[in-house]
Structure 1
Amino acid sequence: MEILPDRRKKRLGRWEKITLILGLLVLVAALTPSPAWVKTFLIQKGFMAMSNNSGDKVRQLVSDGFKAPVNMLRADSQLPLLQLDIKYQEWMKLSADRDQALADGVIPEQRQTVKASLQYLNKSYKAKVRLQGDMLDHIKGPNRWSFRVQLDKKQAIFSSRRFAIVSPDVRIHQGPTLFSETMKYAGFDVIAPFHKPIRVIVNGSDWGVMLFEQAFSQELLAVNNRTEGLIARLELDGEYLDDEGLLVRKLRPRVLQQGTIMGNPALRRQRTQALGLISDFLAGTRPASDVFDTVRLGQYLATVDAWGAWHALTWNNWRWYFNPHTARLEPIQSDVAVVPAAHIWLMRPPSQSFHLSRKMLADGQVRASYLASLAKLKHDLISGKLTAHLQQAETILKRQLHTSAPLLGSFDLKVLQTQLTCLNTGFKKPECSEIQAMDPALHKHFDRTHAIPPWDRASQFTKTPEGYQLTVTNTLPKPLQIAELTGSTRFDEVAELDSDTVTFPTLLAPGESLNFAIPLKYPTVTLFAAEVGGNMAPYEWSDSHNQNFLPRGQAPANKLPDFIVPQQNAWQIRPGNWQIDDYLVSPPDWKLLIPAGTTLSFAPGAGLMIFGELHIAGTGNKPVQLNASNPKQGWQGLTLMGTEGLSSSKIRHLNVSHAASPKQGNWRPRGAVYLVNSKLDIAHLSITDNSSEDALNIINSQVEIKQLQISNALSDAFDCDFCTGTIEGGSFSNIGKRSGGDGIDVSGSNLSIRDINFYTVRDKAISAGENSRLDVSHCRFDDVNFALVSKDASHIQADNIEIGSVTHYGLMSYSKKPFFGPATMAVETLKCDGFSCLDKARVALESQLLLDGIPVPPKKLNVKELYRTVMKSDKPQ
């Protein structure tokens, strides 16, 4: 049962005392110079000055002070309660960091992390805690310090294992929520951490209402419907004045949670791509549209300018998610620090005051998205709907914050309307004439960047007449420790390599380089290294012609195969049987048209990647065939990369066989048929004998699929992430020839699945995860390990289900990832051949499973052991 603040009625005398105290504070503030403690107290109590005039501040304070008792009486005190207990010796370490910060004027970069115990909803969590933030506003008060908290693995609170607890005034109270709600209402799909008011008790001392803030972590990505990936930021490596007297800052990209990233081969490859893209953008060798998701970046910059949120644009506040499907970086809302005072809020676009955002908006594609987004925000505001949405969100939030911040007022959304009007008209209207550009005294701007690439990207792996040479260059400000060097043959045989000039382990000083001669038989090398004080990790280089491949549309080829007929923004395939020996990539915003009866046979390294739309017009008598010219060696599969507006593709009677996923260098999708960001109308698609992790992989798409046939799948048959729509008719047979084979595996999706038969599935026939919603009906399962599985806040509603034979359980409901929470399932009209349906139903504690409306009793379930044994995966990488 949740422990909540005491809501018993208090005597009126208490509120009279509150009024008296606030009146005295007003008098002190008005008659004496404001001491630091008074200023900190008032700010933490919610006072936000709406003017820079001293007289106006006093009058506002008097007015807010008289409203405060009413705000406290009406406050919503039914807030979640977190109790944090830190032992004395550990607490003294945090206090020492705070004392050092107060002496230095900034919180030290190197901070002590201490052990703590956290209590929530009568549960105890082991945690690690350190001071949060950089500036002193995080720790100025005698309490209400900002903490970064990390729970032990497999534990989570509010869908987060890593989070911060901050005083609301540090984030300017309701500001970040109004900012994110603006994007949400406008339909801008930009990742944003949530800020939830909670009551906090630290070592028995009531710190009042604070904000629970999600950290930049995998949990943040998951609850924002993003595939597992990495988050990148910038760090400063120094600054200098160039020959023209311009300030140049040396910036280096890096990833968050480096240890986790380097321990995962897939994320390690993504890191190489992401940091390379950022480095190229900083150096000016790659345009913003080739680095960033232009639509989301434009939306984010428009929202920043609308709210005057210049703080989000400083180099140290940028955070980017690397999307592994598109190989582009998406902005993440970070420390927007919006201010309600009109004299601060109203400004010429702050995006034009910062070097990085100016450089982004100089790209035509980013600029087009930015202008369209400004127009959308203005339209939504003028219609009154956005205003009503923001006012409702603010009212709820203010009532929660008023418990500890009774002086807190509202944002005047008329200022937002003025700012948007001026932005959309280029500040040419009379009411915009006095609005100035951002005050340069607010932030130290720089004029250009000096990109410092990560040391592994600055290092070179080149071919020589004698073999290969690895030149390792240390771009770090610290020595680089090198422990071991290994080589891999083309047959994946690994050997430890010696050096005639270096003895391992060795240290490489900043700015220095080392050369290693590599025998020709080792086209891939791995160096185990770390900056001094860090953890050793593997860094890999390879002699691959496509090592730097990115999924980008290519300019129209001057010479196309004779069977491809160029049309206006399209390729038309001639009817017939054709051989493709290269990896064929279309230009952007293109169409591929394949007529009935066409057969395309692909060489082992060949494949097909279309940016735009795919139209396959097979028939029952004349299907379209995509196959391998050498079935034993396979081919690189079919890829469709749609557009943000979900371009429409239509596929009829297509047979795909012996395909692998389109692995190109460090870009490693999973599906032999791989469809992204599309509106898909598919009927009679057959995929057989694939050699990839997924036979069919669809991402972020609307789907209408009929008669889907998948057989002899190496691992999973159909993986659908962040999809909506229907799948009707068809069969899945012999799924998981290797292991870990699911029939239909969905994450973050809302689908209707009906009239499908599942035969011989080595893992889960239908698996719903990560907050999915499935409506399953008229399906049959034979020879499967598990039939229907709902996990991680998903819900399956099923009816008319037949289970012929199942090895372990027909129905399961549980939580695998605690930050999502328990799952539910409800099944009506279930038929089990030769066994009791109830005996083959299993539901974990806190999850739910209903059979014909009757709850199945939950039992303790060791999920970790489950995935270590009967659900153990051995999927191809």
Structure 2
Amino acid sequence: MKIERIIFLLITIILIGVGCKKKQTFQKIKPTLLASCTCGAEKLNADSKRFDCGNNITCSGVDTRTEEKVRSGKYAVRLSNDFPFSMTFQFDDVKQGEYFETSVWYFGENGKSNIIASDLSGKKIYIVENRIAKIENGWRLLKLKFSIPVYENTNSIKIYLYCQSNKPTYFDDMTISRYNIRPRSKKESALYLEYKPEQYELFRSLKEKILEAFVIDNKEKEWVKANLFYENQKYKTKIRFKGDWTDHVSSDKWSFRIKIKDDSWQNLRTFSIQSPVVRDFMHEWVLHKLFTYEDVLTTRYEFIPVYVNNIYTGIYAYEEHFEKQLIENRNRREGPIIKFNENDMFSKSKHEFKSGRNVRLPIIQASEILPFGENKLFADTSMKRQFEIAQNLLNAYRTNALSPEDVFDLDPLAKFYAIISLTKSYHALAWHNQRFYFNPITQKLEIIGYDGGDPHGYSYGWVKPAIFGDFEFLHGIKDANFDENLYNFNLNLFKNKTFLNLYVKYLEKYSNPDFITAFKQSINTDFEKNLNIIQTEYPDYIFNFEKLFTNAQNIKKAIEPYKKTISKNDYIDKFETLKTSSFDVNYDFFYDKLMLKAYKKNIAKDSIKIQIASFISKKIYIIGTEDKQGIIHKFNNEVAISQYKLEPIYCEINCHDGDSLIFYSQSKDKLQKVKIHDWQIPNSNIPFQQLFLTNDIRNIAIFDEKNKVITFKKKTTISKNIIIPSDYSVIITKGSSIDIVNNAVFMTFSPIQIDGTEKEPVTITSSDGTAQGFTILRAKGKSHLTHVVFDGLNTLNYNGWNLTGAVTFYESDVEFGDCTFKNNKCEDALNVIRSTFDMKNCIFNNIFSDAFDSDFSDGIILNSRFEKIANDAIDFSGSNVKIEDCNIVNAGDKGISGGENSKMNISDIIIKGCNIGIASKDKSVLEVNNSTLENCKYGFVLLQKKPEYGDASLNANNIKLNNCAVNHLIESGSDFYIDGEKIIGKEKKLADIFYK
């Protein structure tokens, strides 16, 4: 019996322990009315010194009572400049997050009457309201709604009336309601952020340091753990302060960067929240929508109510961070995102603020080019190489080593600048606000539009012309608001004729009122939704689209004069005198560490080559390196570096590996250190430029310049690189054979027409197996390929410029008829990206990995055959595709795979001998009809691979599943229907099974 009791007690203890370890769920506090009252000046309290407002609430102002003008009852109060205050309520034991609603009717001069909430001293004003909510019979209704700031400690507040009119103004029927938290409407979805009290105290202490320092330093951006809740879903996160200036923390709305662990919210892994004021409310939202409307890269940007530790903090803007999800959401292939390092600029500003002296330094010239997500990026050697190319491109633009068209994708860049002119969002043009995506396919930088809204108003006051780039007005002007760095960084673009022609083209497009009207109609529903969200906290806020129409009208008037201005030969020379040509020489040694840059080039395991660029205006001495443990490794001899004189001083040192570089400029007792970056210093290694220098097209092809046609001989051996420029037609006639050898590249920017026949097909092969692909990039017309055999091709792999397809079409529409792809030696036999395609009667055979891989494309595949495929036969991401009458035999992985929000209509397909017959992933929707899946390990698989996407969907009808080991494997949350019957998914984390 004792043993049984002991066992019972042990089990009980275990169960209690298990119960204690259960995760706590977030409990939302229910809004409760704490107090309410109405005061019409009708009733006095017992000693007749205060108004009795009911529910044991009184207010002062009896001496302003009057019968002269009333809205209801017998009395009101009369105020003017002589007696400006009345109906003062005091509320004690006020808690953070408490919410007040108050209203009053007044009769008198408009705009001179206010409801005010403040601390008891009246020195700290929480909110003032003088906006009219309603008018009845000459009486105007004021409403005031506010929450006690979550980041303020206050015990008591007062709410009172204040009149600034010289004429008598009458107030009546004042109401106040007090809640524990702000009530929410049933339709409202809010974001709840929860962190511990000690973390709150950390943020408060960091805020004090920030306000003292004038800027937000990286030291104040300390990550802490937090929980995020949205619609009963919990997310584990890390949060920190975000932003550069004090406006991000000076109010009761602190700006945060939020990083979600192993999950996503609204398809975002990392994002920021900040007050709408910081980016000028809806101005920023409209700017982002314009970018999206014109396919300019931009961040996702919306508004949402936010609660911090169960206390309502108001409406916030949320914005996605610069990660691969931004790129993929805009239908681009993953590539590095880069920026100029702005930390030195803010460190300089911080020191100037303390010292009271401004210093002219080559900040832009010295600023490093940094990647976002450095750790993840550099874990992949190919991505690191892509970053180094991107860095080299941006540096080449900064130093005028390359023209803008060799660095940037000019078309979206011209759109970006034209939209900036239309919206007057010049804040986005500052050099330290610009972000760039490196497109690994085109090897160009693409601008990412964001941060155009200015909290101080609609536009920069000094930008007076209607068109940004009309620089002549700057001559002779000494305006304190003129940003010379903004001007200088953008100057090179406006010296480039190709860019200017595109810029004018889009200025003309966007200044057409029909364009703005169509854009406005396209966003109308979302616009009203977000405006309504903002107006719950800022009820008088409006966004006037007439500003855009007015700006457009002004641009339209200015375009013809602007065209004449930029056509003048001396247009460029006029601006050279404005360029910065000198910097301060004598300055505090504090700035030295901002002006020395160090990079590393790995040589061996424990030794490196440090690459140094000095922008310091005095001689300096390098004494050694410091490792991560703080141990200094001194050089045998100090390395002296000469002073900077408008050109950086470069040197290289072979030494022990290190994390920091140790140096001094004045004396050895004032040693300083700078970080050594884990990548090479910017250089001229740019594959696109190097490849074009080797172009042998003129010696291989036959040019008809009159008709802009390029042809090839019947038998052509290509042993040197071929790059065909745009604006030609490329024709390969029936019976032709092209043999690409000696690692040669075949690339065309013009559409290609290959006219093979059944009896005389065209063969494109590589007899030595070294061909670096058959690549079509941004061809302006549609390509047509008939009876073509692609045999034994590899893909482009040129000094860091790497593609995946033996045959690649990028932003180039194409038709394939009776084509064969076989014996490729790379990841994809055919890769179609951001294009439309038609494929009929084609064959894929003996494929190295994937047969047909398509990203962000629309097309149709008819009556085609796929066999002996090492990996996926058909693999589509972000695409809309129709597949009919196709056979897939022996694919090592998936017969058909739809991922990343693809839409696929599949019918009359036979899939045999594959690992997975058909897979739907990551919010893709597949419709499969009248098909057979035979001898597959898995018939259908539905799963979510990437956290930023949603569950998959597949609807199958009239399917034959013959001899499949598992007919279907469905992840929980996915929607799978077969012949109208829903199959409930029960599997968890299938991505761990198939992708790890």
TM bracket (short chain): 0.7 to 0.9
Shift of 1:827: 0.9
Instruction: Note the 1:285-304 alignment, pairs <5 A.
Output: 285-304=401-420
Asked if the contact 1:155–1:819 (Cα under 8 Å) also holds between the matched residues in 2, the reply is yes
Structure 1: stretches of 5+ with no match in the other structure? 47-56, 430-444, 462-468, 485-500, 518-526, 873-877
SS of 1:190's partner is coil
Give the 5 Å matches for 1:447-846.
447=580, 456=599, 472-475=610-613, 513-516=651-654, 530-531=659-660, 539=679, 548-550=686-688, 554=692, 560-561=698-699, 564-568=702-706, 570=708, 572-630=710-768, 633-643=769-779, 646-736=780-870, 741-807=871-937, 809-834=938-963, 839-846=966-973
Name the residue aligned to 1:98.
207
Aligned length: 777
- Superposed CA offset, 1:160-219 (max 9, x none): 11011111212222122111222334xx11122122222222122221222221111112
1:261 deviates by 1.2
Look up the match of 2:225.
115
SS at match of 2:751: strand
Say if 1:528 and 1:538, in contact at 8 Å, map to a contact too.
no
Residues 279, 383 of structure 1: alpha-carbon distance in 2 compared, 3 angstrom cutoff = closer
Displacement after TM superposition at 1:364 (Å): 2.1
Q: In the alignment, is residue 274 of structure 1 matched against residue 390 of structure 2?
A: yes
Structure 1 residue 6, shift from structure 2 partner: 7.8
Percentage of pairs with the same residue: 22
Distance in 1 between the 2:363 and 2:678 partners?
Answer: 32
State how 1:387-406 maps to structure 2 within 5 Å: 387-389=520-522, 392-406=525-539
Per-residue Cα deviation, 1:285-332 (whole angstroms, up to 9, x for no partner) = 111111111110011111111111011011111011111111111111
Tell me which residue corresponds to 2:135: none
Deviation at residue 773 of structure 1 after TM alignment: 0.7
In structure 2, which of residues 237, 244, 261 is the aligned counterpart of residue 127 of structure 1?
237
How far apart are the structure 1 equivalents of 2:581 and 2:104?
53
The two structures have a TM-score, normalised by structure 1, of: 0.79
1:86-485 pair list within 5 angstroms: 86-110=195-219, 111-141=221-251, 143-152=252-261, 154-185=262-293, 188-236=294-342, 249-250=364-365, 251-337=367-453, 347-348=464-465, 349-351=467-469, 352=471, 354-381=487-514, 384-389=517-522, 392-408=525-541, 410-426=542-558, 447=580, 456=599, 472-475=610-613
Residue pair 1:249, 1:449 contacting (<8 A) in 2 also: no
Aligned partners of 1:707, 1:626: CA distance in 2, in Å? 18
- Contact 1:662 1:668 (8 Å CA) reproduced: yes
CA change 1:560–1:193 in 2 (3 A) is: closer
User: Structure 1 379/93 Cα, relative in aligned 2: closer, same or farther at 3 Å?
Assistant: same
> Could you tell me how far apart the structure 2 residues matched to 1:318 and 1:42 are?
39
Q: CA deviation at 1:799?
A: 0.7
Is the partner of 1:201 in helix, strand or coil?
strand
Q: Secondary structure at the match of 1:475?
A: strand
After superposition, give the CA deviation of every residue in 1:380-402 in whole Å (9 maximum; x if it has no partner): 54673334445544322111122
Give the 3-state SS of the residue equivalent to 1:285 in structure 2.
Answer: coil
* C-alpha contact 1:842 1:856 (8 A) present in aligned 2: no
Secondary structure in 2 aligned to 1:766? strand
The one of the two structures with greater contact order (alpha-carbon pairs below 8 A, sep at least 6) is 1
Distance in 2, Cα, partners of 1:45 & 1:332: 37
When residues 452 and 856 of structure 1 are mapped into structure 2, their CA distance, relative to the original with a 3 A threshold, is: farther
Give 1:479 shift.
9.9
**What's the CA shift string for 1:25-49, capped at 9, x where partnerless?**
83769xxxx9785589999999xxx
SS in 2 for 1:278: helix
1:474·1:480 contact (CA, 8 Å) conserved in 2?
no
> Aligned partners of 1:795, 1:757: CA distance in 2, in Å?
21
Kept after mapping to 1: 8 A contact 2:922/2:952: yes
Structure 1 residues 561 and 359: CA distance shift in structure 2, 3 A? closer
Q: Which of the residues 114, 120, 123 maps onto 1:26?
A: 114
Q: Is the 8 A contact 1:723 1:749 kept in 2?
A: yes
**1:725 to partner: Cα distance:** 1.7
Q: For residue 955 of structure 2, what is the amino acid of its counterpart? A: A
Secondary structure of 1:150's counterpart equals: strand
Q: CA deviation at 1:590?
A: 3.2
Kindly indicate whether the alpha-carbon contact (under 8 Å) linking 2:305 and 2:316 is maintained by their aligned counterparts in 1: yes
CA contact (8 A) 2:426 2:460 kept: no
Whichever residue aligns with residue 722 of structure 2, its letter is: L
Which has the higher Rg, Structure 1 or Structure 2? 2
Alpha-carbon distance between aligned partners in 2 of 1:388 and 1:262, rounded to the nearest angstrom: 43
User: In the alignment, residue 287 of structure 1 is paired with which amino acid?
Assistant: S
C-alpha contact 2:116 2:128 (8 A) present in aligned 1: no
Q: CA deviation at 1:281?
A: 0.1
Preserved CA contact (<8 Å) 2:439 2:446: yes
Q: Which residue of 1 aligns with 2:136?
A: none
1:553 offset after TM fit, Å?
8.9
Q: State how far apart, in whole Å, the 2-side matches of 1:840 and 1:3 are.
A: 42
> Which residue identity does 2:790 align to in structure 1?
V
TM-aligned CA deviation for residue 424 of structure 1: 2.8
The RMSD of aligned alpha carbons is 4.5
CA displacement at 1:824 relative to structure 2: 0.6
Supply the distance in 1 between the matched residues of 2:929 and 2:682 (Cα, whole angstroms).
52
Look up the match of 1:442.
Answer: none
Q: What is aligned with 2:188?
A: 79
Change (3 A) 1:374 1:565: closer
CA distance in 1, matches of 2:145, 2:794: 60
- Equivalent pair of 1:675/1:698 in contact (CA under 8 Å): yes
Deviations 1:557-605 (A, max 9, x none): 7883466344447554344222211121123333321100001112131
Partner Cα distance (1:851, 1:183) in 2: 41
Secondary structure of the residue that 1:17 maps to in structure 2? strand
Change (3 A) 1:285 1:158: same
CA distance in 1, matches of 2:276, 2:799: 46
Aligned-partner Cα distance in 2 for 1:267–1:448: 36
Change (3 A) 1:125 1:99: same
The answer to whether the Cα contact below 8 Å between 1:529 and 1:538 also exists between their aligned partners in 2 is no
What per-residue deviation string (whole Å, max 9, x for no partner) do you get for residues 503-527 of structure 1? 9xx999997744559xxxxxxxxx9
Report deviation, 1:697.
0.9
The 2-side partners of 1:222 and 1:537 are apart by: 28
Q: Could you tell me how far 1:609 is from its partner in structure 2? A: 0.7
Task: Tell me, yes or no, if structure 1 residue 17 matches structure 2 residue 87.
Answer: no
Counterpart Cα distance in 2 of 1:530 and 1:290:
34
Give how far 1:8 is off.
11
CA distance in 2, matches of 1:146, 1:558: 55
Distance verdict in 2 for CA 1:511–1:166, change over 3 Å: same
- Structure 2: tracts of 5 or more residues without a match: 1-24, 39-98, 132-143, 147-163, 177-181, 350-359, 472-485, 562-577, 584-593, 616-621, 629-633, 643-647, 662-672
C-alpha distance in 1 between matches for 2:497 and 2:130: 46
SS at match of 1:271: helix
1: distance between equivalents of 2:582 and 2:299? Answer: 28
